[in-house]
A and B are shown apart, each in its own frame.
Chain A
Amino acid sequence: MSTGNNEIERFQNPGLPEHQHRNADIDPVAEKRAERQVAILFLLSAAGTILTIVSYIYVRNDKFVFIPILGSTNVQQILLGLGLTASTLFIGLGAIQWAKKLMPDQEVIAERHEFRSKEIDREEFVETLKERGSSAGLGRRSVIKRTLGLSLGLVGLSPLLFLRDSGPLPGKYFDTTDWASGVRLLKDPDGQPVLASDLEVGAVTQVLPELPAGVERTLENTGKDAVLLIRLRPEDFNLDPERLSWTYQGIIAFSKICTHMGCAVALYEQQTHHLLCPCHQSTFDVTRAAKVIFGPAARPLPQLAITVDAKGYLIAKQGFTVPVGPSFWERNSSNG
């Protein structure tokens, strides 16, 4: 290892360290012990399978037992689970113990092959590509090239076309709800109409619109129609005269569907009069017509104008004036 005067000499690779024999390689007692350990592990696995079989057949699946930390636990489930655990885990541990203690542990060296082909093969490959390519004449025949491009581009449209019937067109679906002038507010889930006097100050109720006779309520309706009724003291409101006229004796109604991503805005803080969406924490101020005061939502919850009918039941004064729920491209948001 002679180096020139200015040349930097780096450390040399010392090569594989000498192989150290394990106890089990040189000591027959240790070897026997290792063998026994492996066998015991395999036996434990077999015991696990037996536990699984027995608990599947002989343990009832409606018995519960209290186990610390886990709480009340189904006896059959836990026994099946532990049996399955033992039957698989111990096979694995046995095999690994076998490999580690008894199989050859001398590291061996294998050479890597170079991925790059020989220069001559690479050249011939390029030649073949060129020659085969030009024999098809794709470069020369530009008409073929263009028409092929066109047809390949068009053929890709077919799968898209065939997906067209996967659903109807949305039409005005996102703009409308079942709320309209005179529609009664029904409590969800019992379906009873609401008397203004039923609601105490601070109370929150979910309501749905009364549907025409014979029309069944679906999850789709609920997903657009759900409304929250909240009763405040009238002096708590901070509304313009129009919006104030949409309330009734301190009762105010908002769409429950978040204007951000459509979750149900269900958390109401009585002290602060804030409505919070549990999905992304958009927060709306009930006293200011559900104005967004925090979080990612960009628009207030639409307010539903309410009043009472001759019998004192709450009804909608008119439908929602803006679409409810999350944004969509066709939504005209210029008026809220």
Chain B
Amino acid sequence: MKTSEKIADATANYIDERTGAAKWLKKNLTKVFPDHWSFMLGEICLYSFIILLLTGTFLTFWFDPSQREVIYHGTYLPLSGVHMSAAYDSTLHISFDIRGGLLMRQIHHWAANIFMAAIIAHLFRVFFTGAYRKPREFNWMIGIGLVTFGIVEGFLGYSLPDDLLSGTGIRIAEAILQAIPVVGSYLAFFAFGGPFPGTAFIPRIFIVHVLLLPGLFLALITIHLMLVWYQKHTQYPGPGRTEKNVVGYPLMPVYMAKAGGFFFVVFGVTAFLGAVASINPIWLYGPYTPGQISAGSQPDWYMGWLDGLVRMSPPLETHAFGHTISWNILVPGLIVPGILFTGMALYPFIESWITGDKREHHILDRPRNAPNRTALGVTSIVFILITLINGGNDVIATHFHWTINGIMWFSRIGIFVLPPIAFVITKRICLSLQRADRDLVLHGKETGRLVMLSSGEMIEVHEPISDAKKWTLTQHQQPGALPAPLPTSATTGMIGKLRARMNRANATQVPAATLTELKELGDSHH
């Protein structure tokens, strides 16, 4: 026996005699994971979360989450003698006096941005491929929980240094609380321990930021991953892949090396950004005071859509019976986001209700094969893009020499007009792509070779595509083929009619090519 074999033998023996895990480990070390670049998006979320935990812990060693007033006497001379909170003072200390402190702050902030960007990209991947369908609805909902808490966590994080920019963000959050009917001014006073800004808020959000939400993330991520593990990963359609199998590489050693290596790659890229790309230079903003503000006040981009919605709201308030209701805050700040996130969380159930599809799905959809879903996804993206543009309208206006008023009116009208147009266009594109697939299977691919027939007619020679490709392009189940999903009771009434209508719209598909058709064509071609 070689030494390495002896070590493996002893290790396995040691573990099993103490845990009895031999059977479980034997099975799971050879667990198969399908390979695709888009499956790395979820990994980036996990790895940037770990980076956030590591760098965040480092920062807590020096950060003082207190709004106690101090006078700055540190190494950054432009602020010398300025009154500021201990939170801001200690952030300056980390940035200028702790070796590697600024680097860690910047890695932490970049990792937060990467975390949110990867979550959103991962969400799009899961949505457009229909990966959330049965049996993965719970994991989708956990994911929506993670993106929601991620936005909150990010907001709290960049609020902690108590600089002029983030203090303005807190001021806006306070105004949202204050706008809630009946209990608003009480909620604001309880959250801030009295009048804004007070001295209680930063210590409170600090503990939420470093303990409560990270704990919640850990719990949700653990369940998320356990479900992925137990349910096995979805896979893209292709030769050899079916609803009953999973094709890929085993965990040990290939996935351990790839996934473990990828963690270090994500860390390296984040560290590089932290090294060369300045982010949130709070010393330039100065400490927070409610009487001042800097031009071009922008939240981090993942809050930008919310800010854009608030900016585009018309000036609507109800004044009656000695009370005030601020629709200009409540609608864009609470009601629309509430509807959006609830809708997202329930989407798997809504889709299955419309299509009547209650089957399990492990093979992913190519987006073109689900035109309505893809169109809805693009519609949402267009909606969010318009809000983002409006969230940065001041910066865009100064860069491109447009008027803020022009951009604002573009968004106010565009938010209603452009998403539906995007829906129609995307659906047409999807159906055209289905038609292109059909042509490719039935007529083969273009070779660019032109041949003149004896009759003088010019034709381009087409080459048949491989069997693997033919299968990939035709394997999907089309909604039209589903058993009639509508029980009679549900077809009556408004809701039933709506459902029937959406079901019909969903069944609009270009029929996938079949072998029968190919054979018939073959007969007539020759």
Residues of A within 8 A of B (CB): 3, 8-17, 56, 61-62, 70, 74, 76-78, 80-82, 84-96, 98-100, 103-105, 107-112, 115, 163-164, 166-170, 173-174, 188, 206, 208, 219-220, 222-224, 226, 256-257, 260-264, 266-267, 278-282, 292, 294-299, 325-334
Q: Beyond the given A107-B35, A329-B185, could you list 7 further A-B residue pairs with CB under 8 A, ordered by the A residue number?
A: A61-B99, A99-B253, A167-B200, A169-B186, A219-B290, A263-B293, A264-B292
Please determine whether A298 and B268 come into contact, CB atoms closer than 8 angstroms.
Answer: no
Asked if B246 contacts A109 (CB within 8 A), the reply is yes
Q: Which residue of A9, A111, A224, A282 is within 8 Å of B515 (Cβ)?
A: A9
- Pair A329/B184 contact, Cβ less than 8 Å: yes
Known: A92-B265, A169-B186. A108 touches B248 (CB 8 A): yes
Contacts of B325 in A (CB 8 A): 327, 329
Nearest 5 pairs between A and B by C-beta? A81-B275, A89-B268, A95-B261, A92-B264, A16-B240
Measured between beta carbons, the chain B residues less than 8 angstroms from A163 are: 190
The distance in angstroms between the C-alpha atoms of A110 and B394, with both chains bound, is 54
Can you spell out 5 A-B residue pairs with CB atoms less than 8 angstroms apart?
A: A91-B261, A92-B266, A327-B329, A330-B323, A330-B324
Chain B contacts for A110, CB-based, 8 A: 31-32, 232, 245-247
Q: How large is the interface on B (under 10, 10 to 19, 20 to 34, 35 or more residues)?
A: 35 or more
Chain A residues within an 8 Å CB radius of B289: 219, 222
Asked if A82 contacts B184 (CB within 8 A), the reply is no
* CB atoms of B102 and A11 under 8 A apart: no
Decide: A168 and B194 in contact? CB cutoff 8 A. yes
The answer for the CA separation of A317 and B474 in the assembled complex, in Å, is: 81
Q: Which residues of B contact A326 (CB under 8 A)?
A: 175, 178-179, 326, 329
Known: A109-B245, A331-B323. A296 touches B313 (CB 8 A): yes
Chain A residues, CB < 8 A from B514: 8-11
Tell me if B229 counts as interface (CB < 8 A to partner A).
no
**B297 in contact (CB, < 8 A):** yes
* In the bound complex, CA of A210 to CA of B231 (Å): 68
Judged by a CB distance under 8 angstroms, whether B181 is at the interface is yes
Taking a contact as CB atoms under 8 Å apart, the answer to whether B200 and A85 are in contact is no
- Cβ-based interface call for B483 (8 A): no
- On whether A328 and B250 interact (CB within 8 A), knowing A89-B264, A295-B408, A296-B310, the answer reads no
A168 near B290: Cβ-Cβ < 8 Å: no
Q: Most chain-B CB neighbours within 10 Å: which of A76, A88, A325?
A: A88
A81-B240 in contact (CB<8A): no
Q: Is the CB of B292 within 8 A of A266?
A: yes
Instruction: Give A206 to B241 CA distance when docked, in angstroms.
Output: 70
Docked CA distance A94–B260 (Å):
11
In the complex, are the beta carbons of B171 and A298 less than 8 A apart? no
Residue of B nearest to A336 (CB): B319
Q: Contact at A80–B99, with CB atoms within 8 Å?
A: yes
Complex-state Cα separation, A42 to B3, whole angstroms: 24
A294 CA to B396 CA in the complex, in Å? 18
Interchain CB contact under 8 A, B297 and A167: no
A294 surroundings in chain B (CB, below 8 A): 405, 408
Check: B464 CB closer than 8 A to any chain A CB: no
- Chain B contacts of A16 at CB under 8 A? 239-240, 247
User: A329, B247: Cβ atoms under 8 Å?
Assistant: no
Stretch at the interface among B339-347, B465-473, B494-502: B465-473
**Inter-chain contacts of B243 with A (CB < 8 A):** 112
Indicate the member of B194, B325, B393 with the most A CB atoms within 10 Å. Answer: B194
A-contact 0/1 string along B290-330, CB 8 Å cutoff: 11111111000000000100111111110100111110110
Q: Is the CB of B172 within 8 A of A17?
A: no
